[in-house]
Structure 1
Amino acid sequence: MSVSEISHSRTLPEPRAMLRLIKPITWFPPMWAYLCGIVSAGVSPTGQWWLVILGVLLAGPIVCGMSQAANDWCDRHVDAINEPDRPIPSGRIPGRWGLWIALGMSVLSLAVGYQLGPWGFGATIVGVLAAWAYSAEPVRLKRSGWWGPGLVGLSYEGLPWFTGAAVLSATAPSLQVCLLALLYAVGAHGIMTLNDFKALEGDRVMGVNSLPVTMGPARAAKLACWVMAVPQVIVVALLFTWDRPLHGLAVAGVLAFQIWAMRVLLNDPKGNAPWYNGTGVTLYVSGMMIAAFAVRTVGL
């Protein structure tokens, strides 16, 4: 049976396809960043564990899941070229069900975010708007290899980190916390650029100007490595400035291993990008948590 025949024969979404639509594998970065924010706040979660649990669920399965559903709906024509077996182009999520799921999860995101108080609700509004601005016309920042990955980096790393710290402390985070969240969000631009390698052919056909399309895989990979590494060098310098030399050395250590992984990546950028996303990115987020523990007592 062809994809079109499957699409016309199904009227309700396949449950497994609905789970694949919201891509559980993508939930980890914002959940981890939210926990980094919780740690960096320097406030005991005793008596506030519900804020921790609810925030993690909001950052991952709900808001991130919503953003993936919105992206798949808006990218259904690109996915028909790159990944025709994905839930929407394959017909396992038929008709406009992909859109209804994304819209329903947007409403759910706002309802849950409201439970986290003004800081959490405000951040949720920003996150929902960013998700649609990235994927949907007429804005569709995904078309830009600069603005698209930048927005995703801020939404996946910077915003959840800021939110976790603000929600737990019920006030604006310190300058040190904001700097770390921003630096790691900037570095995530490089991670998002590497993630674009898997859609290279479809993006080229559909006019999505990702950096791998506009610069070529080799140059885009080199730029991504610099974008990931430079913010971490600044983090190390800041940790030494804030009298946290052991934490600074630890972040420098994970960066050194990342540089080794980057050298492997650059031998075959397109082929090794998935490997780096599993190896180098794990080291990257480890450095995030080290920095979060370092800054929790700065200024006390």
Structure 2
Amino acid sequence: MPSSDAVIPSPLIRTVLTHLQLLDPVTWLGPWQCFCCGVLAVGLRPADLTWADGVKFFLACGLIGPLLTGFSQSINDYFDRHLDAINDPERPIPAGRISLAAARANFILTALLAIGNMALLYLVTDSPLILLLGAAGLFLAYAYSAPGFRLKENGWFGTTSVGLGYCMVPWLLAAHLFAREPGFPFFHLALGVVNALVAMGLITMNDFKSIEGDRKNNLKTLPVLYGERGAMLIAFTEINLAQVIFVATCFYFGYAVIGWLGVAFFIPQVIQQVQLYRAPNDARLLTSLGRNAAGRSLISQSQSGAHPGFIRFLVGSNLLTVTALTAVAIVHGYWR
């Protein structure tokens, strides 16, 4: 029996939490990571920062996380409610915790707030490029799920739109907001592509957990088109190509130490990929991670029921994340 002193949330709190679940806050972390790494990569020193930089950073974090990423998650839940009824029936809409009208209001309001945020950033920076990047992120989020585009129905278009919207747009936004030189230097364009490729690989692996529902609804995700091992090879190619671009960029710009570090991380990454390819459904890594707090922190609630292969690939691909964080933390002028 439940404890007599258990706290039962009020209807208002339950409603707020349900709306927040539609925005799926855990998914904000990836775009935020790309943005923050992009800010570090411009080479700013603390002494260079101004109050205007603080305002830009605050507004950009709101735009990238709760608004653009939150919008993409909310609108995806709305148009994928029939899929979630098969693949994830505990989501708010198929579970009946929120009405369709309220769910629709959620993503419409989020989109309007995103547009308002873009306008504020434009007023602060006086740069039309801010509006262009924000509009691109909003359009990609809409086109991924909404009828008329429905990019997610094609594995190639879907993964590409996620890579561009979730990772490349935040990186380029950071470069544009905080770089002291105009435009997008080649260094930032290259690392934006690296982040996009990593996201494409992860999305491909994440689609493993919904193969059954995707097949029933004729969604041509890469695991549906090519099977688990075929999709793995595509994901491995994307993540490894990202690593090659990253290492080449480091060497080209004179970051030899970081370049060699990238090469060193590449070796265990390939070993992990080979192990995963041989046993894609081996859940031992997932089980071992769940036994300790550090491991649980790597896996979000929304990923806890995912295909074991996705979890293993997520952990393995974090080697690239470590490399990227190391590179951008050691800003221009160090470790050349």
Instruction: Please confirm whether the aligned pair reaches a TM-score higher than 0.5, indicating the same fold.
Output: yes
Aligned to 1:113: 118
User: What percent of counterpart residues are identical?
Assistant: 30
Q: What aligned pairs does 1:50-61 form with structure 2 within 5 A after superposition? A: 50-61=55-66
- Comparing 189-198 and 288-297, the one that deviates more: 288-297
Partner secondary structure for residue 269 of structure 1: coil
Letter aligned with residue 119 of structure 2: Y
1:151 pairs with 141, 161, 168, which one? 161
Aligned to 1:125: 135
- Gaps spanning 5+ residues in structure 1: where? 1-9
Q: Is the 8 A contact 1:176 1:295 kept in 2?
A: no
Q: CA 1:120–1:286 in structure 2 vs 1: closer, same or farther (change >3 Å)?
A: farther
Partner secondary structure for residue 126 of structure 1: helix
Letter aligned with residue 325 of structure 2: M
**Distance (Å, rounded) in 1 between the aligned partners of 2:193 and 2:152:** 20
Partner secondary structure for residue 155 of structure 2: coil
Aligned to 2:100: 95
Aligned to 1:4: none
Residue 17 (structure 1) shift: 2.1
- Comparing 195-204 and 179-188, the one that deviates more: 179-188
Residue 297 (structure 1) shift: 5.1
**Distance (Å, rounded) in 1 between the aligned partners of 2:165 and 2:174:** 13
Q: CA 1:70–1:244 in structure 2 vs 1: closer, same or farther (change >3 Å)?
A: same
Q: Is the 8 A contact 2:38 2:171 kept in 1?
A: yes
Q: CA 1:173–1:276 in structure 2 vs 1: closer, same or farther (change >3 Å)?
A: same
**Distance (Å, rounded) in 1 between the aligned partners of 2:166 and 2:332:** 21
Aligned to 1:80: 85
- Computed over aligned residues only, the root mean square deviation of the Cα atoms, in angstroms, reads 2.3
* 1:156-186 deviation line (CA, Å, top 9, x unaligned): 1111000011011373121111112113312
Letter aligned with residue 17 of structure 1: T
- Gaps spanning 5+ residues in structure 2: where? 1-10, 282-306
Partner secondary structure for residue 219 of structure 2: coil
Q: CA 1:136–1:297 in structure 2 vs 1: closer, same or farther (change >3 Å)?
A: farther
Q: Is the 8 A contact 1:40 1:293 kept in 2?
A: yes
TM-score by length of 2: 0.80
Aligned to 1:175: 186
1:166 pairs with 162, 166, 176, which one? 176
Residue 199 (structure 1) shift: 1.2
Partner secondary structure for residue 100 of structure 2: coil
Q: What aligned pairs does 1:125-274 form with structure 2 within 5 A after superposition? A: 125-169=135-179, 171-270=182-281, 271-274=307-310
Aligned to 2:323: 287
Number of matched pairs:
289
Q: CA 1:297–1:163 in structure 2 vs 1: closer, same or farther (change >3 Å)?
A: farther
**Distance (Å, rounded) in 2 between the aligned partners of 1:297 and 1:72:** 45
**Distance (Å, rounded) in 1 between the aligned partners of 2:308 and 2:25:** 22
**Distance (Å, rounded) in 2 between the aligned partners of 1:105 and 1:194:** 28
TM-score by length of 1: 0.89
* 1:98-146 deviation line (CA, Å, top 9, x unaligned): 1110111011111112222233332111111110011001110000110
- Comparing 244-253 and 201-210, the one that deviates more: 244-253
